[in-house]
Amino acid sequence: MCGIIGFTGYLDVKNVLLEGLEALEYRGYDSAGIAFFEQDGIKTIKTTGKVSNLIDKVEKNGNNSTCGIGHTRWATHGGVSDTNSHPHTFGNVTLIHNGIIENYHELETELAKQGKYPVSQTDTEIAAMLIDSLYHGDPMDTIKKAMSQLEGAYAFCILFADQPDVIYCLRNGSPLVACQSKEGSVIASDMVALIKYSKEYFVLPELHIAKLTKDNIEVTNFDGEIVIPQKLYVKWDMSAARKGGYEHFMLKEIHEQPSSLRSTIMPRIVNGSLPDLSGDGIPDTIFDDINRVIITACGTAMHAGLVGRVLIEKLIRIPVTVEIASEFRYQDPIMDENTLVITISQSGETADTLAALRLSNENKAKTVSIVNVKGSSIARESNYVLYTHAGPEIAVASTKAYTAQLSCIYLLALQFAKAKKAISDTECTSFIHHLQQVIPAVEKTLFLEKELDEISSHLKETQDLFFIGRGIDYPLSCEGSIKLKEISYIHSEAYAAGELKHGTLSLIIEGIPVIALATQANVYSKMISNIREVRARGAMVILVTNGDIALDSSIFDYHIALPELDDMFTPFTTAVVLQLLAYYTTLHRGYNVDQPRNLAKSVTVE
Ligand code: M6R
């Protein structure tokens, strides 16, 4: 969602802020703005549209200001307009905000009684008004008072007009990371904007306040005690956060999959035959009394969970349910200390997934999260974490994070099966062998890129499209569908192939594309029958199979043969094909691949 950057130090702050906002563009936004100290006060510049519009508005050679804040806004309260863009100023206070102030209406009513009215339609301006109304020269005291009145999830960076070159930051629910470097003190909504200054950083703990001065960042808790947050370190550098010669981040990230899978899988295998999660601090004892599993996540991460369900039930024979995280807490879910709850999240900050995790913790379930971003809220609040080592994922469409999530689920399921003695040593060794085979198979799948580009060109004018599959191919159909629709804007639906004739078959008409996933031997003949059903109604069929098998050429228009893998492991290669299809279809239609409309990379509001 919104991007935040704040800097105070020894560089021209306008450049720092604009570069930081460019680095944060991937998060999805509709307006941008900066505010910085000048000799005669705080200057604010903001605009709707891209950061490039903001850059055009910023004077290149003004005063050499060295302290300021910058923001990319993803509209929630109030439409997309210059007025609603951040930063917002009221009286002494200029601030930027990520999150939602849930009680803004009540606060606004109270402020109106004091004769104070906002000019924008945002909840953020109400926060600026509240903080200003409480301010009598002591920022820390004011912020604490404001925190006790603000409800909702938020991260703020605040400038007080009479406190030059100092930035005050606080957070509750929405992420903020900070680092100290020789150039100055930097804070941002994510690491991508900090990496230029330092690989060492810390996460501002929730309900804590950070005071940034040129040479120091002081963190205090709500009682005013100084706290030293745990230092974290990223392994990747600026080049990982750049396109590295690819036209889009999405394409780069699709191609990074062999390497991200290697980094996620290989350190967790011992002697070439056993899973080993001891490096992650996950002891076998956590599985001891587990009699059911709940997997909860959103979007693509949830689709990884659907694959996990098939796998865990097959290996361990205990019931698994997959719950959409945004629904989870409203369903009064059944769980106790014998329930293992697995939360999956690339960002580790998705508000709904975090809420589902918190509810699981409250209910004493054992919680394990599969997360990509180190030190993120979901990682910190889970009993155990299995990090995906996918590196930074910038494109809104999740690709390498998804396959890395799958690999963690496979490892976790195997460890679980081993701990429960549900599989023999030979089966374990064979599983590990097949999992390792996934890496070269994904490499080979990438060679299908040209073919997939060509096939995608036939989808350019399509308005509706269907993905069908059975067994483990059904979750992959869901994933193919979300990938295509989120970036190409083609309406698509995913169906368990056997379910088509219970309603949806009426939508299959001459020429409608159907992407049919038929990688599973146990349902292969059933799947072929379902393909014949759509074919008989004139569908254009793009068929995906595990290996190059003999086929009746009358049942498809295009055939994609995946490198052959054991059936249980085809989700990895199928996913790559579906990602490339979505990517090239979007390119042929001329849309922005990396930043689709209305979407944000990290969804930190409910
Ligand atoms: O950061 P998370 O993995 O928790 O994000 C969950 C979803 O928002 C995310 O997977 C989304 O569905 C992707 N844009 C899909 O490509």
CA of 350 to the centre of ligand 1 (A): 8
CB 383 within 8 A of CB 206: no
Q: Whose CA is nearest to atom 14 of ligand 1?
A: 397
User: What would the pLDDT profile of 541-572 be if each residue is shown by its tens digit?
Assistant: 999 999 988 888 899 999 999 999 999 999 99
Is the pLDDT at 63 greater than 70, yes or no? Answer: no
User: What would the pLDDT profile of 525-540 be if each residue is shown by its tens digit?
Assistant: 999 999 999 999 999 9
Q: Whose CA is nearest to atom 7 of ligand 1?
A: 299
Rounded (10°) CA dihedral 249, 255, 259, 261: 90
Q: Structure pTM?
A: 0.82
Q: At what angle do helices 473-488 and 570-589 cross, to 10 degrees?
A: 20
CA of 398 to the centre of ligand 1 (A): 6
All domains of the chain, ordered by start, with CATH? 3-234 (3.60.20.10), 241-423 (3.40.50.10490), 448-589 (3.40.50.10490)
CB atoms within 10 A of CB 247: 12
Q: Report the nearest atom of ligand 1 relative to the CA of 303.
A: 10
Alpha-carbon dihedral sign for residues 434, 439, 444, 449: positive
Between CA 479 and CA 395 the distance in angstroms is 16
387 φ, ψ (degrees, to nearest 5): -80, 135
Q: Report the nearest atom of ligand 1 relative to the CA of 300.
A: 10
CB atoms within 10 A of CB 134: 17
Mutate to test the pocket of ligand 1, among 174, 190, 298, 386 (most ligand atoms within 8 A of CB): 298
Closest to 72 measured CA to CA, from 171, 120, 5 = 5
**Amino acid identity at 131:** I
601 annotated active-site: yes
Between CA 198 and CA 178 the distance in angstroms is 9
Mutate to test the pocket of ligand 1, among 189, 296, 346 (most ligand atoms within 8 A of CB): 346
SS3 readout for 298-364: CHHHHHHHHHHHHHHHHHHCCCEEEEEHHHHCCCCCCCCCCEEEEEEECCCCCHHHHHHHHHHHHCC
Longest dimension (CA), the chain: 80
pLDDT of residue 190: 86
Where residue 319 falls among pLDDT bands split at 50, 70, 90? very high
CB atoms within 10 A of CB 463: 9
CB 196 within 8 A of CB 237: no
Q: Report the nearest atom of ligand 1 relative to the CA of 603.
A: 8
**What average pLDDT does range 495-508 have in this prediction?**
91
Residues with CB under 6 A from ligand 1: 298-301, 345-347, 350, 353, 396-398, 482, 486, 602-603
Where residue 146 falls among pLDDT bands split at 50, 70, 90? very high
Closest to 93 measured CA to CA, from 20, 158, 184, 189 = 158
**What average pLDDT does range 267-293 have in this prediction?**
92
478 annotated active-site: no
Mutate to test the pocket of ligand 1, among 350, 484, 486 (most ligand atoms within 8 A of CB): 350
Is the pLDDT at 602 greater than 80, yes or no? Answer: no
User: What would the pLDDT profile of 70-110 be if each residue is shown by its tens digit?
Assistant: 999 988 888 889 999 999 999 999 999 998 898 999 999 99
Q: Report the b/e string of 10-22 with b at 16+ CB within 10 A.
A: ebbbbebbbbbbb
Is the pLDDT at 197 greater than 90, yes or no? Answer: yes
pLDDT of residue 273: 84
Q: Whose CA is nearest to atom 12 of ligand 1?
A: 299
Q: Whose CA is nearest to atom 11 of ligand 1?
A: 299
* Residue 279 token pair: 């490096």
* Residue 18 token pair: 């604009």
Q: What percent of the chain has pLDDT over 90?
A: 83
pLDDT of residue 272: 84
- Residue 316 CA neighbour count, 13 Å, CB half: 25
DSSP H or E run through 578? helix 570-589
Please list the residues that pair with 201 across neighbouring strands: 232
